Amino acid sequence: MKYPGDDFIILGQRIRLGESKTIDFSIAKLYTSTNIEIPIIIERSTVPGPTILLTGGIHGDEINGVEIVRQIIAKKINKPKRGTIICVPILNIFGFLNSDRAFPDGRDLNRVFPGSKTGSLASRVAYHFTKEIVPLADFCMDFHTGGASRFNAPQVRIKPDDKQLLHYAHVFNAPFTVFSPNIDKSYRTTCDKMNIPIILFEGGKSRDGNKYIVKHGVDGVTRILKEFEMLSDKHTAKEITSETILIEKSKWIRAQRSGLLHVKIDCNKHVEKDEFLATITDPFGAMRFIVRAPNEGYIINVNHSPIVHQGDAIFHISTIDSNMTTAEKSE
């Protein structure tokens, strides 16, 4: 791996060792002719080293990811001891302005990578980001939340059977590490095809801020930076007190009735087979359906919507013995 010196060029601008710069990544305008610019915050050490890329807000309504990257910047954790850190707090600025997951064209940015130069608005943003920003990175971290009122336990998602990513997930040390195959046309898949390691952090739900989730994200970033020998001496990485729990397989528990959802357990909880999870009732007091755990496992996602339809995902539960930690699994 060749670490760049003064030849580090991003969006046509040269950034020398020891320099800090914010560059506006401008792709399109609003229909009012107002420029829409995505700030790219770059911090370079005086010492050459790897380049780490942090992204939030690929979905415009996922606030926790934005806040994690914001805190990394505000606390100056992004000023590396060596190498370069690129922060993009909000990649989908269009969705963020509208508090919407998608772009104004209705497309999900995380389903159009690597994009097209002449495609939809979302596809064009993905194309330029993939061509001009991503190739500079040696390692990526992408921050998300659950969507559609579904609350995710803090978790790192990695593709199965990748020992390198499993190691980094162990270092990041979210409460859970979930094996999750790459999705076609996602940012994660694009990085994988470019041979750039990436871990995806999920926590909380859309249109909601959660300081507990954000802390897990920030702590994980500091541990990764320490692993790369990039964490400044002014900061310390929080020590690992409990190992991340590996979720190799999981499934959704879906509503068998439509009605009002009354959740009785917390996210993150380990449950036994047939444990009482929730009730679904009708508004008229005539029906009460009990939702029970189909197997022993960890609840890593809970639907916070007060109303559900038959077939809606209401809990995400692990289905394989999850007591083996990533440290044990990688041996």
Show which of 194, 227, 260 is a domain's final residue: 227
pLDDT tops 90 at residue 218: yes
pLDDT tops 60 at residue 325: no
Measured CA to CA, the distance from residue 84 to residue 136 in angstroms comes to: 10
Measured CA to CA, the distance from residue 11 to residue 128 in angstroms comes to: 10
Residue 4 in domain:
no
Measured CA to CA, the distance from residue 281 to residue 299 in angstroms comes to: 22
Residue 241 in domain:
no
Contact 223, 171 (CB under 8 A): yes
Residue 234 in domain:
no
pTM of the model: 0.95
Structure tokens belonging to residue 214: 């954000």
Measured CA to CA, the distance from residue 304 to residue 289 in angstroms comes to: 17
Same domain membership, residue 191 and residue 115: yes
Same domain membership, residue 263 and residue 221: no
Q: Which domain, by its residues, includes 303?
A: 249-329
Backbone angles phi, psi at 134, to 5 degrees: -55, -40
pLDDT of amino acid 126: 96
Tens of pLDDT along 228-241? Answer: 999 999 999 999 98
Residue 233 in domain:
no
| CATH (domain of 258) | 2.40.50.100
Measure Cα distances from 282 to 260, 261, 263, 306, 310 in Å.
6, 9, 15, 12, 12
Same domain membership, residue 87 and residue 41: yes
